[in-house]
Amino acid sequence: MISNSNIIINFEKNIKMKLKSILFLVAVSASTFAFSQEQKKSGPPAGNAIVGDTYGSVVATKESKAISVEKLAKKLNNDNKKVEDVTVKGKVIDVCDKKGCWLTIQTEDDTQFFVKMKDYGFFVPTALKGKNVVLEGSAEKKVTSIDEQKHYAEDAKKPQAEIDAITKPKEEIRFVANGIKVVN
């Protein structure tokens, strides 16, 4: 025969198990809810890119000491296709619309001067388009694959016909920026 004390002990064990189960379900539900929330899609940083704004590291070189894209191209031809610690001035013609993780600079001969941010460590606002900037970093001549060219064209929301027209790798100046400053 079962005693009253055994019934009470079994009842208490049953309640403790149910409480543990309820707490476990609450914890799982809370974590599932927290991770299932739609994350805000990240885009380029906000900002008007006004003269004096700096992105990445502080640009220490004065604007007057920066070289043109044309001089950089000549320097790259003379220095085995890579130049470290160089400062260049140019006009931004495009910025990645997805994150602001790359930009292009206008060149004298209408080729692209492609700029990425060092270690993907900072981004720039799309308001940088049309602005003059001073860039500090390193540059090299590099062959860009068809797939990579198409990826950047898609990021720039180029028309599909223009993307499809990319059919061969191209050699271009690639710049890795430590810092970018908006200038006049």
Strand 54-56 versus strand 102-105 pairing type: unpaired
Residue type present at position 2: I
Tell me the average pLDDT across 26-33. Answer: 55
Show the tokens assigned to 31.
Answer: 């974590």
* Confidence band, pLDDT 50/70/90 cuts, at residue 1: low
Percent of the chain with pLDDT over 90: 51
Out of 7-11, 22-26, 27-31, 101-105, which region has the weakest mean confidence (pLDDT)?
27-31
Cα torsion 69, 71, 72, 78 to 10°: value is 150
Are 88 and 67 a contacting pair, CB within 8 Å?
Answer: yes
